[in-house]
Amino acid sequence: MEKEKLVVIGNGMAGLRCVEEILERDAKKYQITIIGAEKYPNYNRIMLSNILQNKMTVEETIMNPFDWYKENGIDLHNHNPAVRMDCSLQNIELADGSVVPYDRCILATGSKPFILPVEGAELEGVVAFRTIDDTKKILDYARKYQKATVIGGGLLGLEAAKGLVDQGMDVTVVHLEKWLMETQLNEAAGKLLKTDLEKQGLKFRMETKTEKILGESRVTGIAFSDGTQMDTDLVVMSIGIRPETSLAKEAGIATNRGILVNDYLETSEKNVYALGECVEHAGKCYGLVAPLYEQGKVLADLLAGIATEGYKGSMTYTALKVSDCDLFSAGTILADDETKAIEAHDEWNHSYKKVFIKNGQVVGTILYGDISEENRFLKMITQKLDISGLSPISLLTSADDLSGDDVTTWENSDTVCGCNGVTKGNILEAIKDKQLSSVAEVTKVTKAGGSCGKCKDKIHDLLGFALGGEAIETSKGICSCTDLSRDEIVLQIHKKQLKTSSDVYEALHFKQKEGCSKCRPAINFYLNVAFPNEHQDEKASRYVNERLYANIQNDGTYSVIPRMRGGKTNPEQLLLIAKTAEKYNVPLVKITGSQRIGMYGIKKEDLPKIWEELDMKSAEAYAKAVRSVKTCVGKNFCRFGTQDSMGLGIKLEERYEFIDTPHKFKMGVSACPRSCVESGVKDFGVIGVENGFQIYIGGNGGTTVEEGKLLTTVETEEEVLDICGAMIAYYRETGIYGERTAPWMKRLGFMHIQTVLLDEEKRALLLESLDKAGKRDEPWQKVCRDKAIQQKLYTVGSSEA
């Protein structure tokens, strides 16, 4: 049976997403032809500002490369736009004169930028900002000229302006309205945004109307309606978009502002559908990606013969892709007789919050500065939650003030990727079912993070949550922010004396000026190791489990595990645990695999109170640090024991607890070769024998079990303690953040590590370094370290590795 011919006019994000959805539902139903005006395959238009801001390359914006079309049997006519459509004959004429017939046709013609109808708009150096070619042209001008003007203080205009500043240009934004982003922000938030952007080098002319663009062959300046003028070498027009309806209108298809469609994305002509920025549905045109993708799913269901309730419109929300300008706007942001608002302005912390309420429900919100609660308010809006019982204070500020942006605590139904409608549950299910281990893999399978990219940090956090912190992304750089490896970064930290994370991001030209969820904890760790006295530990850069001193569980509750050195406890500790568990109705109290008592199922808001009442230190059951030491009862009680394993385990724990390491560092001490505590699969394992202690290193349990290698046999406990400390120090100095000791040992070589640890002079240097590096405790404390020792150790750690 011959396949139906499906022709898509438009090779952009909306049309291609619909095609992807159709292929997922029924890849054999249609012979698909795609017609595009540009010479490129489908690319992510949202990310063009990131190219200007030096965060991405053109190649990184490509969503569907040319090979994808071939692999899916799609006939692509790119750089060959449709010029005429005959709905009675059901065919389309292209620019080169060829004719493409269709059984069904999707119009996804997008929109075109609005160009001010003023004298001089046609001059060289006056450009729109809509396509890859526009972006390349702007970059070319930025290399040649100094002064730029962006007309339009909306979302895209500000992102373009920041990009031109990052290109080294002197940039002025000309805006007709009283404040920036007036359709998404109110005056208070708009003024905060202007202040922050001015700090980043942007200049503004507000409430200013462009009268004329000056110049003969190319732009030299702008004249304004108030009689003033300004010199400029480049003018970027960014004052809005208009639906592209000309092809549809000439074909007799009903249009208004956009191509008119019903709930099933059907136009006025049979077998012709439309979606994306070109359409008007229920009186609305959408210029954001999330509604376009929602339309694509509905239309894909319809064309695949799957029952659908149709498209009912979208609730829009916005975020700005400019570093250090955190804002979030969603839903209705205008008060009227029925819609009231509650707001809070924190001048000290430069943050603003306003919530709009109608009929006992939140219908909109504006957040600036602190946007950690965007998911909370978005959930209230989308789920139409009844908030009539909340006071203004409790509405504006969640009772849960711990890590409000922690995606691991969200419900599975909460949306992580708004652009693509992907929930936390969708992502966790994909990670589990498809055995995914990187953000790129999650994006490929679920499409989360594939549009604006704002949610990639959250995806990475969910990977760590699902895989126990073992998420891996393979690249030369430590993350997508940089191409630099661990060794290159650490070398530059010492060479340039970089003392803060922001110094590192700026000096080493990270693509994300504030880093990402993968590099932030790594850079914080490397700085702690390099400059323990000067660098202030950045708690916000640590993973949520470390910030809360608790391990998150699969239902969003937490476990509290107090420290019991060597598994040894006493009646006082047991009574405290029992009383606390009873008071807070802890669902589960369990002896853990590491010989401690854990309390599970604790609410996040109870964590500070529980730790206060226990008056015990955390067992570091969650941190990338030295963990507890597992021991057997030893020769004092066991008839097979040859050494005091419990006593040695306690000494190891007392001496090295709370020291940060690249990954978790586990130890075990067995009193005899029966090795009841499985010392052979510990990062540092000790087995008592008649004449002393065997020491094993680099053993790792988990999904892939690595057996430790016998390092040496020593006679005394002090030798065990010293070798252990030297290994921790060397692991800290040379390990890649997130790397367990087994792969660390493979990378450096067992023989090399053995040589370093058994060399008395080097071991003494390592121990001195570790002693002066200090331990981390509540509050984090760092002890001054001798710079000469640091320099010697860095040489040991880099030149010989």
* Angle CA 657–659–664, to nearest 5: 90
Q: Which residues pair with 242 in a beta bridge?
A: 112
**Most distant CA pair in the chain: distance in Å?**
99
- The number of CA neighbours under 13 Å toward the Cβ of 523 is 32
Instruction: Decide if 584 contacts 602 (C-beta within 8 A).
Output: yes
Q: Which residue has the tokens 């390491």?
A: 661
Q: Which amino acid does the sequence have at 280? A: E
Of 607, 562, 563, the C-alpha closest to 584 is: 607
Q: Which residue has the tokens 């969820």?
A: 517
CA-based radius of gyration for the chain? 31
Q: Are strands 229-231 and 219-224 parallel, antiparallel or unpaired?
A: antiparallel
Instruction: Decide if 674 contacts 636 (C-beta within 8 A).
Output: no
Q: Is 676 annotated as a binding residue?
A: yes
Q: What is the C-alpha separation between 575 and 374, in angstroms, rounded?
A: 41
User: Residue 701: is it exposed, middle or buried by C-beta count within 10 angstroms (0-12/13-18/19+)?
Assistant: middle
Q: What is the C-alpha separation between 511 and 153, in angstroms, rounded?
A: 24
Q: Which residue has the tokens 């202040």?
A: 195
User: Residue 247: is it exposed, middle or buried by C-beta count within 10 angstroms (0-12/13-18/19+)?
Assistant: buried
For 273, the enclosing helix (H) or strand (E) is strand 272-274
Report residue 293 as tokens.
């993708």
Of 430, 439, 437, the C-alpha closest to 412 is: 430
Q: Are strands 597-602 and 588-591 parallel, antiparallel or unpaired?
A: antiparallel
Q: Which residues contact 657 (CB under 8 A, 6 or more apart)?
A: 563, 565, 617, 620, 626, 628, 775
Q: Is 632 annotated as a binding residue?
A: yes
Strand order in the sheet with 219-224: 210-215, 219-224, 229-231
Q: What is the C-alpha separation between 566 and 740, in angstroms, rounded?
A: 22
Q: Is 672 annotated as a binding residue?
A: yes
Instruction: Decide if 296 contacts 273 (C-beta within 8 A).
Output: no
User: Residue 716: is it exposed, middle or buried by C-beta count within 10 angstroms (0-12/13-18/19+)?
Assistant: exposed
- Three-state DSSP at 659 gives coil
- Three-state DSSP at 28 gives coil
Report residue 526 as tokens.
């490397």
Distance from the Cα of residue 135 to its chain's centroid? 25
- Three-state DSSP at 339 gives coil
Q: What is the C-alpha separation between 485 and 519, in angstroms, rounded?
A: 11
Q: Is 724 annotated as a binding residue?
A: no
Q: Which amino acid does the sequence have at 118? A: V
Report residue 342 as tokens.
């509650």
Q: Which residues contact 292 (CB under 8 A, 6 or more apart)?
A: 13, 14, 17, 275, 276, 277, 286
Tell me if the bond preceding 779 is cis, omega within 30° of 0.
yes
Alpha helices in 75-154 (DSSP H): 132-144
Q: Are strands 361-368 and 75-77 parallel, antiparallel or unpaired?
A: unpaired
Of 687, 682, 684, 692, the C-alpha closest to 670 is: 687
Report residue 5 as tokens.
């011919």
Annotated binding site for [4Fe-4S] cluster: 632, 638, 672, 676
Annotated binding site: 632, 638, 672, 676
Annotated binding site for siroheme: 676
